[in-house]
Structure formats: structure tokens, C-alpha cells
Amino acid sequence: MSSQKRQSRLTAQQKSVLIWGLVALLVCAAMNIYFYSLEGARGFYLWYNTRMLRSLILMGLIPIGLALLTFPLEKLKSKLPSRILRWVSIVASAVVTLISVGLLAFLIIAPRSGTIEPAKLNLIDPSKGIIAQATQTQASISSPQWQGATTGQDEQPLLRLSISSDAHWGVSTSNASARTEILQGIAAHNPDAFFLLGDIVENGSQSVSWNQALGDLEALIPRVPIRPVMGNHDALLGGQYAYKKIFFPKGFSSNSGSPYYYSIDAGAAQIIVLDMLWGTEQFGKRQKDWLEKTLQAADPSKPVIVLSHCYYYGSGYDDPTWGQPWYDHYQTIPAVVPLFEKYGVDLVVSGHNHYQEYLEHNGVHYAIIGAMGGISDPPPTYFSPASKWMAVATFGWLDLDVTRTELILSFRNEKGELIHEERIAFRRQ
């Protein structure tokens, strides 16, 4: 065999090992790109920065790296080392390709499988707004009490909202009895709208958890107008598909074009829902521009209330496992709070942290109500300078009444007992 022919056969082997490595790299990249494109996935990587998640990205580089290493080994007198490394690279390529294809198939199929029916609830379609019971009464009786603004009339709630967050159906550590009592209390209160600010389920890719949540909601608050908002746990591993199927079914729409962020005309107030899961991973240029335009166009005679899963200012603790700071949010404060302050947002309500807290900073008021049954967060080791009141290891919800002049915040425990009240005069023009 001539030296030229041997050279050409070796080149073919090199090509082969490179092709195997490139295929593995491309399939791995496709899987990671798909994963990253899912709602909240980038936050998942950041806030649960495990070796496993990092290795999903790095593993695609291993086979091609091994393939390239065979090149200098070809120059050795003995061909055995390069031959062994070629085979190691090919086996690694096969393993990485199989893992990547398997994970990609899981990410596509798992969240779409299982039987989930559209919710039999009184779901609020964001584009249709909220019709307050006070407005209906006003229209039906044309009472003079609605015509002017005297001191007594100022006290009348024009809009009654209930808000809670972080129920975490589907995990044994969540408090099912507190969750049930809260829903019973909200049903008895009969608000104009109930906002469930996310982390409805522990893992959004599991249909069994969604069905548990639906079973309770349909049994306990079938008639209360409800608008569930997606949280980081709901979005886990493609959970956005179940969320949309259940809570944003066909025929629903929003003024942003997104099922995750929009504004809602609630008559006496403008409500803005933001897509904040772990932090700002979904707060790209599109959502930011939309928020700024919406705030610019807001009716100055009405209070602006922003709702989102993730919080902004908040007391909390350093995560004992990952070291992440679960307090005064280092992403949402610089990215979003300047817009709240510039355009005079009155109140921001969120969950994510499993506390009840009231805060105020630069004229914007904040409430955290992550207390619908998810396991309580540990006692805070960091207290936000913005904090005015806080309850730790409590379950409950927030009633928010909008009058002609005030926002009245009533923090309640799971029994419905008032544990804290705040009155915020809003800036009407």
C-alpha cells in the first residue's frame, strides 16, 4: 500500500470522526436552543445553576473536542492512541446525540401529553376587561350616590379585587388545607376579580398537578371571575403549553398580543400584568416597549396597579443551596422600577417570595402575597429598607378595594382575618 493511499484512508477516518462530532454538537445545540426558547428557561439556568444544567450545554463540545485531539496523535509512530481516541469520540458522539434527542423529545412531548381540559371557571379574558359589581349596581339603579364625590361616597369601593400567589399544587410540602380555606374565603368575599399570581403548580410539565389545581378551583370558586398569571414553577420544562391551554384558551386575546403580559381595563383602575417569572428573563425589548407605551397612555384619573409573579423590592434570604439572593431583586429593580417611578404606578403586587409584605419606595407601593399554601420561606436574614410590614410563615390573601380616592389593602390570613391594612391615596389628575 502506497504512502499516498494510506494518507487518503486516514483523512477519511478523520472526516468520519469529525462528522460524528459535528452531528452531536448540532443536535445538542438544537436541544439547548429549544430549551432556552421556553418561557422562563433562562431563569431556571440562572437561579438553579446546577452542574447538570451547565453540562447540558458543555456536553456537545466533548465529542468534537476529542475528534480534534486525534489529529496531533496521528503524528505519533504508534497509531494505537489516535485509533482509541477516535472510537472514544464516536461513542461520545453517539451518547451525546442520544441524550440530546431524548431530552428534546421530552421537552416537546411531556408538556403536551396528558389529558388537560380547558378550565370550567369564570376566566377573565384580558381583552374584555373586568366589570365591577359596583358598576353593574350603578347602571341598574342609577343611584345618585354614584354621581358625585362626597366623603361618604369616597369610601365606597368601586372595584374589589382579591389577590394571592404561590399555591404550589402537586407537592406534598404545600399546605392543602390553608389553600382550601383561602379559596373558601375568597368565594365568600365574592370579589370582582381574583388574581392568582403564579406558581399555581409545583411543576408545570406535569398534567396531574394542573388537574389537582383545576379540581379545587372548579369546586371552590367556580363563579368568581379569575385571572391566573404564570409563575416560574408553572413554566417549568414547557409548562407554558398547559398554562395556555387551561387559562388562555382559544378565543382569548390581549392588547399586547401575548398571553403572558397585557393590560386589563377594570373600570375604576387600570391593571397591568407583566411576564416576570424568575426575574427579567422574559422582559426583553418587546415587553419593555409595550410597558412604556401602556404606562404613557394610562388614564391619569385612575390608579395604575401592576401585577406580576416575580417581585421587585422584598425582604428575604440567601438561598442556602445556590447562594442566590431572594430579596431586593437585582434584575427587576434596575430594569423595571424606573418605569414604575417615572410614570407614577400606584401599586405593584407580586408573589414569588413566600411571605406577606408591604413596602414603599420613591412613591410606589409594593405588596408581596406569596402565601397561598406553598411552603413558607425561612425567616428573612435581609430586611429591605423599603419594607414597612411583613408576616413570615403565614398563609392568606390580599383584598384590594379601589375607592374614588384610595387603594385599601387588607392582608388576611387563611381564616380570612385581617392581619394588616394599608390605605394608599392615589394621585388623580
Q: Under the rule (CB under 5 A), what is the footprint of Fe ion?
A: 166, 199, 374
Q: How close are the terminal C-alpha atoms of the chain, in Å?
A: 93
Exposure string (b/e) for 331-342, b if CB count within 10 Å is 16 or more? bbbebbbebbee
CB of 196 to Fe ion, least distance (A): 12
CB of 81 to Fe ion, least distance (A): 52
Report the candidate in 416, 197, 226, 176 with the shortest Cα–Cα distance to residue 306.
197
CA distances from 229 to 262, 296, 350 (A): 11, 23, 10
CB of 370 to Fe ion, least distance (A): 6
User: What's the rounded Cα separation, in Å, for the pair 195 and 398?
Assistant: 10
Answer whether 264's CB lies under 8 Å from 273's CB. Answer: yes
User: What's the rounded Cα separation, in Å, for the pair 102 and 105?
Assistant: 5
CB of 381 to Fe ion, least distance (A): 19
CB of 233 to Fe ion, least distance (A): 6
CB of 202 to Fe ion, least distance (A): 9
CA 249-250-256 angle, to 5 degrees, is 85
CB of 168 to Fe ion, least distance (A): 6
Helix intervals (H) in 160-233: 176-189, 207-220
Q: Which is nearer to Fe ion, 199 or 346 (CB)?
A: 199
Ranked by CB distance to Fe ion, the top (closest) residue is 199
User: What's the rounded Cα separation, in Å, for the pair 391 and 381?
Assistant: 14
Answer whether 196's CB lies under 8 Å from 307's CB. Answer: no
Q: Which is nearer to Fe ion, 199 or 401 (CB)?
A: 199
Q: Which is nearer to Fe ion, 375 or 408 (CB)?
A: 375
Q: Which is nearer to Fe ion, 32 or 206 (CB)?
A: 206
Q: Which is nearer to Fe ion, 237 or 407 (CB)?
A: 237
Q: Half-sphere exposure of residue 238, counting CA atoms within 13 Å on the CB side?
A: 17
Q: Which is nearer to Fe ion, 236 or 266 (CB)?
A: 236
CB of 34 to Fe ion, least distance (A): 25
Answer whether 183's CB lies under 8 Å from 216's CB. Answer: yes
CB of 173 to Fe ion, least distance (A): 11
* Three-state secondary structure call for residue 268: coil
Question: Could you tell me how far CA 151 lies from the centroid of its own chain?
Answer: 40
User: What's the rounded Cα separation, in Å, for the pair 106 and 319?
Assistant: 29
State the cell numbers at 199: 406558581
